[in-house]
Amino acid sequence: MASIFQRKKGGAWWIKYYANGRQVYYSLGTKDARVAKRVKRQIDGEDAKGELLAPSKTPLPAFLEDFCKFLSTIRTKKSYSADLSVLRIFFGPVCPSLVHGSCVNTRWRAGNSKPVEDQKAHLHIRASFLEEITASVMEGFISRRIREDRIAPKTANRYREVLHRMFGYATKNGGFVPTDRRNPNPAASVERRREPAHNIKYLSVSQIAEQLRVFDDSPTLKAMVATFIYAGLRREEGLWL
């Protein structure tokens, strides 16, 4: 049976229970007794039905290497490189795929090449197990990068996106069970930053006329281009017509 308690009056509620012979003990991150009791009831119910699972303990370097290999099979070369960059800045070169230059074609590597200096070493999150990467850890990392490095909201959301995919993969393929039962995917609890609306630019009447004038000797092409411009069609959409 689970038990809930406060370490100090008015502080956050903590929960303690046993699953598969292991003691599980963590902060619920709330001062609301009703929320704490609701979590306790959920855990007691799963325990009574024999469905209570202990949090997993996933070695981080081996998991990240496996995840990077998975990404290489579903992402384009450019997208894969971008994903590795996000993971490398967050975790550091903790596995072979996250070492600087790991995406470089080996034919172009010099045998005596010097290791690249890790300019983001002060940013890396140090952890031995995946379960140590909580929502608060990710939120703190992203908030720090926004404050200190002035990264754009779009970049902040990219970190969240890649980490969300990582935990989804861990759940489906790595048997990941989070410590905090309220967050099956810890990255889902990270605040999504609001991105500014895209600045859409429209052609002026004179610019449209200038483009159409090029096709004065080809009425058919001129009609097609005019349709694309005035209907706002992309090339792929026009080809479907």
**Same domain, yes or no: 44 and 65:** no
**Same domain, yes or no: 33 and 101:** no
Q: What is the DSSP string of 124-188?
A: PPP-SBGGG--HHHHHHHHHHHHHHH---HHHHHHHHHHHHHHHHHHHHHS----SSTT-SSGGG
Q: What pLDDT is stored for residue 114 in this prediction?
A: 57
**Same domain, yes or no: 69 and 157:** yes
- Residues 169-173 have a mean pLDDT of 95
**Same domain, yes or no: 147 and 105:** yes
Percent of the chain residues past pLDDT 90, beyond the cut = 49
Q: Is residue 197 domain-resident?
A: no
The identity of residue 103, as a single letter, is C
Rounded CA gap, 193 and 195, in Å? 6
**How many domains, the chain?**
3
**Same domain, yes or no: 112 and 32:** no
| pLDDT > 90? residue 231 | no
Q: Is residue 113 domain-resident?
A: yes
Q: What pLDDT is stored for residue 103 in this prediction?
A: 55
- Residues 182-187 have a mean pLDDT of 89
CA 73 from centre of chain: 18
CA 207 from centre of chain: 41
Q: Is residue 198 domain-resident?
A: no
Is the pTM higher than 0.75? The answer reads no
| pLDDT > 70? residue 111 | no
Question: Residue 105's pLDDT band (boundaries 50, 70, 90)?
Answer: very low
Closest to 97 measured CA to CA, from 132, 117, 72: 72
**Can you give the residue range of the structural domain that contains 17?**
3-48
Tens of pLDDT, residue by residue over 27-43, are 887 889 998 898 889 88
**Same domain, yes or no: 116 and 222:** no
